[in-house]
Amino acid sequence: MSQVKIKKGHDIQIAGVPKKELEIPGQSQTVAIHPTDFRYIKPKLLVKEGDNVKIGTPLFFDKRNPDINWASPGAGKVAAIHYGPRRVIEKMIIEIDKDEESVELPVLDTAQILESPKEKITEQILNAGLWPMIRQRPFNKVANPSTSPSSIFVSCFNSAPLTVDLDVALRNRQSSFRAGIAVLSRLTDGDVHVSVGENSISETFMDIPHAKTHSISGPHPAGNVGIQIYHIDPLKPGKIIWTVEAQHVVTLGGLFLKGVFDPSIVMTIGGPAVNKPTHFKTRIGTAIQPLIKDRLNDGPNRFISGDVLTGKTNDKDGYVSFYHSGVSVLPESDEREFLSMLKPGSSNSRYSLTNAFWSFRRSLFPFTTSKNGEERAMVPINSWENVLPMDIFPNPLFRAILANDVEEMEQLGLLECDEEDFALCSFADASKIDVGAVIRQGLDVLEAEG
Amino acid sequence: MKFIRTILDKIEPIFDKGGFLEKFHPVYEATDTILFSTNEKTESGPHIRDSIDNKRVMILVVIALIPLYIFGAINIGWQAASVSGIERSVLENFWIGMGSIFPILMTALVAGGFWEVLFAVVRKHSINEGFLVTWALIPLIMPPTIPLWQVALATSFGVVIGKEIFGGVGMNIFNPALVARAFIFFAYPSQISGDKVWVNVDGISGATALSIPAAVENGNAVELLSNITRFDYSWSNMFWGYIPGSIGETNKFLIILGALFLMYTGIVNWRVIVGALIGLLGTATLTNILSSYSSNTMLTLPAHYHLVMGGFLFGVAFMATEPVTGAHTDKGRWIYGFMIGLLTVIIRSINPAYPEGTMLAILLMNAFAPLIDYYVVQGNISQRLKRYAAE
């Protein structure tokens, strides 16, 4: 096991940390899938409103790569298809039947998986509609099944605030997880890299066969797979690396061991507006409503699918996004404090990465959605550099993207970056610039260039 | 404070689109956001944000400068009293000094504020809190005897040419306060060139500490300084600041305190300061070694004297460290700081025209900072391209 120590970064001391216990929420009557969660695809529907579907029935496919389709995470009736501006399919809602049926596929045990050629494994995942669980870097998009990745990364360490503790989530899931790793090992000629948090005590992650294990330590974003790739097997132009969420590895393993798509997943509910934050056993694409029932503080709140740094704003009646495994709830704030810029600050009202505020108490901080300032021109006081554990100059990169200088973007290492790795830069910035959005803008340009 | 909030909310429509004073919306916005924290919310991306904002950054710099104002006032009074042979209490000295400082401060506010508002209104951007720092810095680097019209002219030049023509705070190349000083330095050298001291009593003039060794050949700088009787130019007195000089730059102890405060808060980058100290002390030591080959007395000035003389510490602590106009990369900051220290000694010692070199050294390095960054970034790029090519 190799050791990777990340020094730069920051663990945000936000209140509402999920309890390390698994609870079962009231069952969601509906589930949903958002085609907008997947970058650079052109979805084409395979079902219409009112159709009956099983778990695993393909709902839509990508016109650009028709082999890739998306499995239904529930069995029942397609209740609604929501369109956004310009007829973009925003979400498909499925009403769940009492008795759910699943699409059945061949069963393979671990030994058979290891003997199967890459094509057979790929075919089974594509047929099951679970290929979108495999994403590729650069660009962090759904992988192209006809390419061959140099290696595959699985991060079993979540460092972002209020996210799932994978020790809790993967308890007693060892056999499916290992089968999933075996599946991935067939998809690449290189290594499968599994990174585990230094303090993990889970048996699931001990001595994993067919993978290289790395022990990761350090503050967020140490758990981001992009940061781990940078430190273990860095990207370069032309090189492709695939990544899979740890819980999706279990789903993929289960797909082969049982022959069916088991959409169950562990999620968290957390944040300063949640009074009983915890881990839940629920399913992919669950409705938010059953998770937050009887757990919220009063007041206007913001519901976020995913974590508070990279998640998407959602609403109370919304659904969790495909790659997200948590709901964060923040109080919305319009409070305007008198002469706040002169206040010395206390832990009740102030929180900063700089030492520009002083307080004696150190407690978890109830963040709100306040921007805490207005957007301004860049004043480079190193707030980006201090939280970015990569040898990349964020400031020149940011400028190159704004100037639309494709060559310089590549030379400054944009292909090794993803917006989620820059979320902390936006968090820490005194000028309130959204760095991650600009990084994505640059990646979009490079992706379009091909 | 509720009634202030109520008044602000009540008058807001006048400044909104279609209102009577629509054009002056930036003025309303600046007043509003200085008095009350903003209620802007995050839209996407990170839904939570750090409490630090540019207002806090700027106001902390101003807070670090306040002790210099207080000491500056006391010193002005004390200098005037000591040359006239009067005994006065510290408080009396302070009030006499404030009598000189306050008009300068107000002139800088009115002149600078005028341009800030004009540019904000015409170019429809918000009034930037960066002006607070420029405003607080300008009086501190002026002699107490400066005519007010020169302050107004210098501030205007600093704000307009030093900042606004580039697009405002964040886009400027030179430190606006330093541009202001450079302007009167070259336009009205008789008042500010730095070879005569400024004491707030008519008819009194003398040489500044730096110009004493600069005026004599084949001498020993320390000996020359200790021979001066009108002022006490001993090392410790220059450190504690009871010497004539610009309003804010004399007390080195308070400057060091302010710099430590800003370094602790994370607003000022310590690499620039440490780099500049190494540059100054190293170069001064070198000139000392070489002094026996030259008749230039300045070369004999020991390194620790360079440190406490002139505006070096003030410039390095509060002006060289300005994040926008300095180097933006950590490696670049070392080079940038070091070169400021080195150039300060070179301009002071070898240049016959200007006894003080810090201002010019900082301005020159402001101009070179993007070039330094360019090479640091190119180094990073070529390292990356080497890695891309390998394997």
CB pair distance less than 8 Å for B53 and A368: no
Please provide residue B27's backbone torsions phi and psi, each rounded to the nearest 5 degrees.
-65, -45
Beta-bridge partners for A326: A268
Q: How many CB atoms lie within 10 A of CB A355?
A: 14
Q: In this structure, are B26 and B111 located in the same domain? A: no
Contact A170, A157 (CB under 8 A): no
Tokens linked to A334: 């319009």
Interface test with A, best of B41, B50, B333 (most A CBs within 10 A): B50
The shortest C-alpha distance from A307 to chain B (Å) reads: 9
Residues A11, A161: contact at Cβ < 8 Å? Answer: yes
What SS3 state is found at B391? coil
A32: closest CA of chain B, how far (Å)? 21
In a domain, B281, yes or no: yes
Confidence of residue A361 (pLDDT cuts 50, 70, 90): low
Pair (B113, B200) in one structural domain: yes
Residue B204 and residue B151 in one domain: yes
Cβ <8 Å between B57 and A381: yes
User: Which whole number is the average pLDDT over A265-272?
Assistant: 94
Residue type, B7: I
* One domain for residues B31 and B128: no
Residues B129 and B269 in one domain: yes
- Could you tell me if B13 and B157 lie in one domain? no
Inspect the interface and report whether the beta carbons of A391 and B53 lie closer than 8 Å. no
Q: What is d(CA A442, CA A435) in angstroms, rounded to the nearest whole number?
A: 11
Domain carrying residue B19? 2-35
Residue B6 lies in a domain: yes
**Which of B329, B375, B384 has the alpha carbon at shortest distance from A415?**
B384
Q: What tens digit of pLDDT does each residue of B143-187 get?
A: 888 889 999 999 999 999 988 888 888 888 899 999 998 898 888
> How close A340 gets to chain B, by Cα (Å)?
6
B328 reaches A (C-beta below 8 A): yes
Tell me, yes or no, if A362 comes closer than 8 A to chain B by beta carbon.
Answer: no
How close A119 gets to chain B, by Cα (Å)? 28
Q: Is B29 left (phi over 0), alpha (psi -120 to 50) or beta?
A: alpha
Find the residue in A nearest to B2 (Cα).
Answer: A338
Whether B40 is in a domain gets the answer no
* Domain shared by B214 and B270, yes or no: yes
Q: What is the pTM of this model?
A: 0.90
Q: Is the pLDDT of residue B66 over 70?
A: yes
- Total structural domains in chain B? 2
Question: Starting from the edge strand earliest in sequence, which strands make up the sheet with A212-217, in order?
Answer: A2-5, A212-217, A192-197, A151-156, A241-245, A134-137, A141-142
In a domain, B387, yes or no: no
CA A345 – CA A352 distance, rounded (Å): 10
> Across the interface, do B170 and A311 touch by the CB < 8 Å criterion?
no
- Across the interface, whether the CB atoms of B46 and A379 are under 8 A apart is answered no
Q: What is the dihedral of CA B96, B99, B102, B107, to 10 degrees?
A: -150
Close Cβ partners of A202 (under 8 Å, ≥ 6 residues apart): A166, A167, A170, A171
Considering the domain architecture, whether residues B109 and B218 belong to the same structural domain is answered as yes
Q: What is the DSSP letter of A213?
A: E
In chain B, residues with a C-beta closer than 8 Å to the C-beta of A409 are: none
Residue length of chain A: 450
Q: What is the pLDDT of residues B221-235, one digit of tens each?
A: 788 887 777 777 888
Q: Does one domain contain both B262 and B189?
A: yes
Whether A362 has a pLDDT exceeding 70, the answer reads no
Rounded to whole angstroms, the Cα distance separating B162 from B154 reads 10
* Facing residue for B266 by CB, picked from A355, A411, A426: A355
Query: Do both B252 and B158 map to the same domain?
Result: yes
Q: What is the pLDDT of residue B192?
A: 65
CA B147 to chain A, closest CA, distance in angstroms equals 33
User: Dihedral of the CA atoms B99, B103, B109, B111 (nearest 10)?
Assistant: -170
Do B93 and B133 share a domain, yes or no?
yes
- Residues of A within 8 A of B57 (CB-CB) are 356, 379, 381, 430
Helix ranges, A61-156 (H): 110-115, 118-128
A138 inside 8 A of chain B by CB: no
Q: Are A30 and A96 in contact (CB under 8 A)?
A: yes
* Cis peptide bond N-terminal to B26, omega within 30: no
Provide, as residue numbers in chain B, all residues whose Cβ is less than 8 Å from the Cβ of A304: 47
Q: What is the ipTM of this complex?
A: 0.90
From the list B340, B51, B368, B325, the residue with the least C-alpha distance to A377 is B325
Per-residue pLDDT reduced to its tens digit, B317-374: 999 999 999 999 999 999 999 999 999 999 888 876 777 788 999 999 999 999 999 9
Nearest to A341 among B40, B47, B55 (CB): B55
pLDDT confidence of residue A24: 86
The angle subtended at Cα A52 by Cα A50 and Cα A55, nearest 5°, is 135
Q: Are residues B96 and B165 in the same domain?
A: yes
State mean pLDDT over A43-72: 94
pLDDT recorded at residue B201: 52
Indicate the average pLDDT of chain B: 85
Give residues 241 to 270 of B whose Cβ lies within 8 Å of A.
264-267, 269
